[in-house]
């Protein structure tokens, strides 16, 4: 008894010690979390006032011992503040992007040489995608400043070489190169601003130039009489915008065709040849808009449509109604995850209903099989009864014949013998009639049972055939990749075992290749996951239609494909992979009318006697890595 007490006491003390260790560990973790949240809140400040206030409140709550209630009240307010801040950030990014686009458009409207116009066009094409990222804005401004300096340097050089054009523009006096601002000091101002808004902006952008501007036209002496006459003849030209004057002066000058504006070049050279229309089958879809707010309505509509189409059991209908109300009330990014989890519960409930229906069918099938077995047992019992009835008839007939024989021997006169024989014969006939009647009844009963069994067997065979067909269809679906339609990893393993057994039995050649799409992550990042999915579908179709019927290709995972090539030497396999590589490279992928080149790399290896399939795959995979390191878009043998 004392040993038991001591043992329980030691166990209790050990549990207390373990509990203290766990409490110290959890205290240390809570302290680390507090410090991490405080540092994160300090790092997040400066982006939005509402978020800054929430970060300050968060630090105050973390300093208290009881922070559960404070965090429970702060988290919803922080979620709303973060979502509002994200919307305002997207609006600011859109405004900055619009302003940059307006500046680039103004520069493109100028008559610039090709070597200056081409970088501007490239910059304009990248502007929409890069402006969405805040970290790219300083680089965009720096690049725009450099391009603007190049453009204005070209324009300034042309203005120095052709002073008469500037004199016509200003229509007041001869303008020299010293009056022009330096190209690095000049920044174009958007034309959408009013004059009152342009002046302070101009003075802020180039103060030295504004300070050194010459006096107004009315206060300056006239240098060239011809220009004075021109200004008097066209008084409206003095007050016209500079862009209009520039366009009118450029139209009046005999410029070379390379320096004409685009519209003038079109008039001089005629309509340009239209580029060939891109194949819509190879067009990459536009990437989705960033941020949850841009797709919130679509997500909510999709979830509601899915809820409406679900065939839910009655006991889950209330849960579905509550989930529908939550979706109709509007979801943010943080509420989307629990809603999807609840929807997953409903989907599992439907799967459970299907499982129960299948169990019910199996139970019904067991009952029908039991009934079928009972019918067979009844038929067997009927047959046994017939056999027993035949035996009884035989026994009774023997007894009656024996009685007749004894009566004949014991008869003393003819009349009594005649009466005795007739009685015995009547008994025999009655017995035979009764047996025949009972036999007919049993045969009818057995025939009905057999007919029922035949019908049941036919129905069960038909149902079994339908189930076998359905199971085979489900099996085939389970072996296909739902995105590309190619066989999946499970189908690959099954076919690999079959081809390996065939090769080991009959010999010959068997090759294994591993194919990977180059820079597939960049496709997803630049064009969106929808574009990546379409690329996988198209490439899978292109690879499949270029293979023989005996070849087998499967999607091994992600952007990687595996290929089995039987009855083909290594040189033929390399030639086949090179054909596949060239075919994919020639696919006319395009995004918004622009050509997108997509390539693949591949590694191939041959099966060697005594090797396992894993070893062959490892060699082909290493060959693929060599192709990747060798510059991609090539094939290597291992």
Q: Which residues are catalytic?
A: 559
Name, in order, each residue with C-beta under 8 angstroms of 547's C-beta and a sequence gap of 6 or more: 553, 563, 576
Closest CA to 565 of 509, 636, 506: 509
| Interior angle at CA 313, CA 312 and CA 318, nearest 5 | 80
Angle 114-131/137-161 helices, nearest 10 degrees?
160
Please give the Cα distance from 407 to 419 (Å, whole number). Answer: 10
Number of Cβ atoms within 10 Å of the Cβ of 75: 13
Please give the Cα distance from 172 to 228 (Å, whole number). Answer: 7
Tokens of residue 431, six digits: 């017995």
Q: Is 636 strand, coil or helix?
A: strand
Give me the residue label for tokens 């320096």: 259
Closest CA to 208 of 184, 188, 190: 184
Please give the Cα distance from 474 to 488 (Å, whole number). Answer: 14
| Cα 486 to Cα 476, 491, 531, distances in angstroms | 11, 9, 18
Q: What is the 3-state secondary structure (H, E, C) of 453-484?
A: HHHHHHHHHHHHHHHHHHHHHHHHHHCECCCC
On the CB side of 56, CA atoms within 13 Å amount to 7
Please give the Cα distance from 461 to 311 (Å, whole number). Answer: 30
- Contact call for residues 58 and 78 (beta carbons, < 8 A): yes
Give me the residue label for tokens 């005629």: 270
DSSP code for 218 = G
Name, in order, each residue with C-beta under 8 angstroms of 375's C-beta and a sequence gap of 6 or more: 449, 452, 453, 456
Number of residues written out for the chain: 638
Q: Is 556 strand, coil or helix?
A: strand
Closest CA to 491 of 566, 568, 562: 562
Q: Is 45 strand, coil or helix?
A: coil
| Cα 583 to Cα 541, 576, 623, distances in angstroms | 11, 11, 20
Please give the Cα distance from 513 to 553 (Å, whole number). Answer: 9
| Interior angle at CA 129, CA 128 and CA 131, nearest 5 | 65
Q: What is the dihedral of CA 15, 20, 23, 25, to 10 degrees?
A: -100
Closest CA to 218 of 165, 172, 174: 172
Which stretches of 172-295 are DSSP H helices? 195-205, 207-211, 225-233, 236-239, 242-252, 262-269
């Amino acid at each position: 008894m004392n040993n038991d007490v001591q043992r329980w006491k030691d166990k209790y003390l050990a549990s207390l010690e373990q509990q203290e260790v766990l409490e110290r560990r959890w205290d240390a973790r809570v302290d680390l979390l507090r410090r991490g949240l405080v540092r994160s809140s300090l790092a997040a400040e400066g982006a939005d006032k509402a978020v800054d206030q929430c970060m300050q409140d968060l630090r105050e709550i973390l300093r208290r011992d009881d922070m559960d209630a404070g965090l429970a009240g702060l988290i919803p307010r922080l979620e709303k503040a973060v979502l509002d801040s994200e919307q305002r950030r997207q609006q600011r990014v859109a405004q900055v992007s619009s302003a940059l686009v307006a500046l680039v458009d103004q520069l493109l409207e100028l008559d610039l040489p090709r070597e200056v116009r081409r970088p501007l066009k490239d910059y304009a094409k990248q502007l929409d995608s890069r402006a969405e990222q805040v970290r790219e804005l300083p680089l965009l401004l720096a690049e725009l400043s450099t391009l603007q300096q190049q453009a204005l340097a070209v324009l300034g050089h042309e203005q120095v070489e052709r002073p008469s054009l500037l004199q016509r523009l200003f229509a007041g006096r001869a303008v020299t190169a010293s009056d022009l601002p330096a190209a690095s000091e000049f920044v174009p101002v958007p034309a959408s601003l009013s004059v009152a808004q342009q002046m302070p902006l101009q003075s802020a952008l180039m103060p030295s130039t504004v300070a050194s501007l010459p006096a107004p036209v009315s206060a300056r002496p006239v240098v060239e009489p011809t220009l004075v006459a021109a200004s008097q003849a066209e008084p409206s030209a003095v007050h016209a915008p500079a862009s209009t004057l520039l366009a009118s002066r450029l139209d009046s000058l005999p410029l070379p065709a390379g320096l004409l504006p685009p519209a003038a070049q079109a008039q001089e050279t005629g309509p340009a040849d239209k580029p060939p229309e891109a194949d819509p089958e190879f067009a990459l879809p536009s990437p989705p808009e960033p941020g949850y707010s841009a797709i919130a309505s679509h997500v909510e509509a999709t979830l509601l449509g899915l809820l409406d189409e679900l065939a839910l059991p009655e006991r889950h209908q209330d849960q579905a109604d509550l989930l529908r109300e939550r979706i109709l009330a509007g979801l943010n990014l943080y509420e989307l995850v629990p809603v999807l989890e609840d929807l997953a519960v409903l989907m599992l409930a439907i799967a459970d209903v299907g499982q129960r229906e299948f169990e019910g069918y199996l139970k019904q099938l067991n009952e029908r099989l039991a009934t079928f077995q009972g019918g067979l047992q009844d038929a067997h019992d009927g047959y046994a009864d017939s056999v027993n009835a035949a035996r009884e008839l035989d026994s009774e007939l023997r007894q009656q014949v024996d009685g007749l024989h004894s009566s004949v021997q014991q008869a003393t006169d003819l009349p009594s013998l005649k009466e005795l024989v007739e009685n015995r014969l009547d008994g025999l006939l009655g017995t035979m009639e009764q047996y025949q009647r009972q036999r007919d009844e049993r045969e009818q009963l057995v025939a009905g049972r057999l007919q029922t069994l035949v019908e049941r067997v036919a129905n069960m065979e038909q149902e079994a055939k339908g189930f076998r067909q359905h199971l085979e269809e489900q099996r085939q679906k389970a072996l296909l990749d739902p995105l590309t339609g190619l066989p999946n990893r499970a189908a690959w393993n099954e076919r690999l075992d079959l081809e390996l057994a065939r090769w080991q039995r009959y010999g010959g050649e068997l090759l294994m290749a591993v194919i990977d799409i180059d820079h597939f992550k960049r496709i997803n990042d630049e064009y969106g996951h929808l574009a990546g999915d379409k690329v996988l579908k198209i490439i899978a179709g292109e690879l499949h239609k270029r293979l023989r019927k005996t070849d087998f290709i499967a999607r091994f995972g992600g952007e990687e494909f595996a290929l089995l090539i039987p009855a083909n030497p290594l040189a033929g396999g390399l030639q086949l992979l090179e054909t596949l590589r060239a075919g994919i490279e020639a696919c006319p992928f395009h995004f918004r009318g622009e050509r997108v080149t997509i390539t693949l790399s591949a590694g191939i290896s041959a099966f060697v006697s005594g090797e396992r399939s894993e070893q062959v795959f490892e060699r082909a995979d290493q060959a693929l890595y060599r192709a990747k390191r060798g510059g991609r878009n090539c094939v290597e043998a291992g």
